Structure 1
Amino acid sequence: MKIRKPDGFKSEKLIVLPDHILMEASSHPLVRPLYVTDTGYFPRALHHYRERPEGSEAVIVIFCMEGEGWYRLGSGRAQPVGQGQAIVIPARTSHAYGSSEEHPWSIYWWHFKGEQTEAFFEGFGLGPNPGHQSGHEPVHESGHGPEAEEATTHVSESDEWNNIGVGAPGTSDGGDLTVPPSRPVKTAASLPVTLPPDKARQLTELFQEGYALLEQGYTLNHIIYVSQLAHHLAAILRLCRLQPQDGIFRHSQHDITQTVRYMMDRLEGTVTLKQLAAQARVSVPHFTQRFKEATGYSPIDYYLRLKIQLACRHLDLTGQSVKEISHRLGFQDPYYFSRLFKKIMGKSPSEYRGTRKG
C-alpha cells in the first residue's frame, strides 16, 4: 500500500494562525491586502501528499528548496517541480501535489488570503493573464481561463518605425507583430516558476524571518510585519514569472534579462526585431510572442521605452538640447523623438525638463 502523509516530517516547521486572531488582524489596513494564514517547512518530505478536490480558501505557494515533486490543477496533467522552483495554486481550485519517492522534496510553503490576493499573484491563474494560449489554459477559481486582454500601449506609427531601423508594424520585422506559435504552448500560469539562486535565497530568508517572528507571538505588530514580508515574496515571484518557462529561451541558454541587456547596450544606436530574435537564437514570431508575454510590450516598444528612460536621465543630468539628446539616442528626426517622448511620458521633453523633481 502506498504511504501518503500530509505532514509529520522530521524537523518540520508549521504555524497555523488562529482564525479569531486573523479575523481581527485582517481588518487592519496594512494587513488587509495580503496576509499569511499558515506557513511551514517540510524537509526531505518522503511520502508527502495532499489532495483538495474542492481546493483551499487560500492561495497556496510552495517553494522547492531541494529534491523533486509534482502538482496538478483541476483535471490537468501533473507537472514536475524541481529544486529552485515555486508553484502558486489559486484559491478554490481543485488540486493535488506530492513529493518524489526517489528524490523527496524539501519545501517552504505559505497560505495567503487578503483583499488584493488576486492582484499580487496575477498571472499565476489569478486575475487577467494576457499571454495564455488556448489549448493549455491555466485553471482559474471559476474553472475557466479568461479571454486574453491586450494591455500594451503601442507607440509606433508606420512611418516612424523606419527611423529606428525596423519595418512597419504588421511586416515581418514590425514591432507590433504577434504571431501565435504553430503549436499550443504551456504558459507561466500553468508551470512552476524557476527562481535564480539569489531570489531563491531571498525567499528562504523571508520564510525564516517571518516564521521566527510568529514563533514569538501572534501580536498585531508581528502579523503586520509578516504581511509586509508577504508583499515582498509575491513581488519576487511576479518578477521571476516574467522569465520564459517553457524552454524556448532556456533551451538556447537565453532569457529575457539577456535580451534587455542587449537592448540597453545599444540605446545610442538602433536594433531591429530580426537582430533581437537572432541574439536570442529563436525565430522572430516565437521571440515576439515570448517577449510580449513576459513584459507586456512588443520588443521594439520595450526598446523605445528604454531609450526614452535614458533620455529622461540626460534631460535631468545634462545641459544638452533636446535635439542633441535625440541624435545621441539614435533618433534622426528630433520631432519624432519629441512625439514619442510625449506619448510615453505624458509631456514633451521641454516640459519634462522644466518639471521640479526631488
Structure 2
Amino acid sequence: MNRPPAAAPAQTSDWPLSGQGERVLLPQTLLASLAGHPLSKAFHPLAFGYYPRASGHRMARRHPADDIVIYCVEGCASVSLGEHRTSVHAGDLLYLPAGQPHSYEADPRQPWSLFWMHLGGEEAALQLRQLFGAHSLLHPGLHERLLSDFRALLDSTRGSHQLSAYLHAANLCRTILSYAALLLSQPREARSGLDIDTLHLHMQTRIHDRLTLADMATLAGQPSRYQFIRDYRAHTGQTPVKAFLHMKVARACYLLETSRLPVADIAQQLGFDDPYYFSRLFRKATGASPAQYRKQGMAPPRQDL
C-alpha cells in the first residue's frame, strides 16, 4: 500500500531561543508516518513550541505552506494578514491559514509570550475553518487548562522519538482546539476581586521558576501579601505557595509517566537545583520517590503538601 506523501518541514521562525523557550520540528520520517497513520493522517502537528517574552520576534511569510495557530498568554504583537492588520493580546487565539501572506512582530515594550503550532493533515484546514469561521482572531481568554494542554504538548515528545509519542501529540493538538471551542461557546462571567484562573495561568507559565509569595501577590495584583493569602485560601483551601508546589509535582508526575528524562533533569526543569530536595518533596506529595513512581505508576499527588 502506498503511503501518502508527508508535508514538507515546517516554516518556523528562527527567533533565538531563551532559557525557557522551546521549538520542536518533526523530522521528515515522522511526518511521513503521521501522514499515513489512521489516527493522525487527518490532523497532526508539523512543529510546535513556546517563546516566552519574545522580544524582537518577527516573521513574514509571502507563501506560507502551513496552517499556524498561536495562543498569546502575555504581552502583545501586531499582525498583518493579507490587507488586514490587527493586534494580538493575552488570551487571544490567532489563525494564520496556509497560502495567505502574513507577518507579525512582537510589541517592543510588551513583547508577547506565545505557544504555537504548525498543523497539517488531510482535514487540518477544514477543521480550523470550522473553529475560526471567517475570523483570524478569537478570544477564548486566559485559562489554566488551555495552557496546561499546550505544556503537555511540549512535554509529550520530550526525550522520545517513538511514533506513539507523536500520535499523542497529534491528539493533544485536537484537544487544544476542541477545548478552545468549548470555552468560546460559554457565556462570559464578570469577575471581581482575586482572579484565581488568571493567577493559576501565570503560575503555570512560570512553573520553571522559583516564585516567592511576593511574586505571586504581584501577579495577582494584590498589594498586601497577607490579604492575598487569606483571599487565596478562601477560594482554594490552601496557600498559594503550596498550590505552586503542587503544580510542580503534578508536572513532574506527567514527565515521569510520559518521558525518559532523568529525575535530575526533571527537577532542573521545574526550578529545583538540588535533585535530592526535589525527591524529598515529591515523596512527601505522592508517598513514593520519583523512581518508584515511574516504575510502578501512582495516583496523582495529594493536595496536602
TM-score (norm 2): 0.54
Q: Distance in 2 between matches of 1:59 and 1:75?
A: 18
Secondary structure of 2:153's aligned partner: helix
Residue 166 (structure 2) aligned to one of 223, 233, 236: 223
Partner-residue secondary structure (3-state), 1:26 = helix
Deviation at 1:196, TM superposition (A): 3.5
Q: What is aligned with 1:72?
A: 80
- Residue 18 of structure 1 is aligned with which of 27, 31, 44? 27
Distance 1:118 1:206 in 2: 21
Segments of structure 1 that go 5 or more residues without pairing to the other structure are 130-137, 139-188, 245-249, 254-358
Equivalent position amino acid for 1:195 in 2: P
How far, CA to CA, are the matches of 2:139 and 2:78 in structure 1?
14
Corresponding residue for 2:88? Answer: 81
Task: Return the offset for 1:211.
Answer: 1.4
Question: Structure 2 vs 1, CA of residues 236 and 70 (structure 1 numbering), >3 Å: closer, same or farther?
Answer: farther
- Percent sequence identity is 24
Q: Which residue of 2 aligns with 1:232?
A: 175
User: What are the residue-to-residue correspondences of 1:132-171 with 2, within 5 Å?
Assistant: 138=134
Aligned length: 178
**Structure number with larger C-alpha Rg:** 1
Amino acid at match of 2:157: L
Q: CA deviation at 1:222?
A: 0.5
Could you list the runs of 5+ residues in structure 2 that have no partner in the other structure?
Answer: 1-12, 191-305
- For the pair 1:119 / 2:62, whether they are aligned, the reply is no
Q: Which residue identity is paired with 1:225? A: H
Contact between 1:120 and 1:234, CA under 8 Å: does it hold in 2? Answer: no
CA deviation map 1:31-87 (0-9, x unaligned)? 1111111111111111110000112x22101111101112111122x2111111110
CA offsets 1:76-133 (integer angstroms, 9 cap, x no match)? 2x211111111011111111111101101111111110111123212466xxx4xxxx
1:164-223 Cα distance to aligned partner (Å, 9 max, x none) = xxxxxxxxxxxxxxxxxxxxxxxxx14x211244xx322221121121121221211111
TM-score, with structure 1 as normaliser? 0.46
Partner residue, 1:61:
69
1:280-291 aligned at under 5 Å gives the runs none
Counterpart-to-counterpart distance in 2, 1:123 and 1:73:
19
Report the RMSD for the aligned CA atoms in angstroms: 2.4
Among candidates 99, 102, 105, match of residue 95 of structure 1: 102
List 4+ stretches of structure 1 deviating above 3 A.
Answer: 239-244
How far apart are the structure 2 equivalents of 1:224 and 1:243? Answer: 29
CA contact (8 A) 2:44 2:170 kept: yes
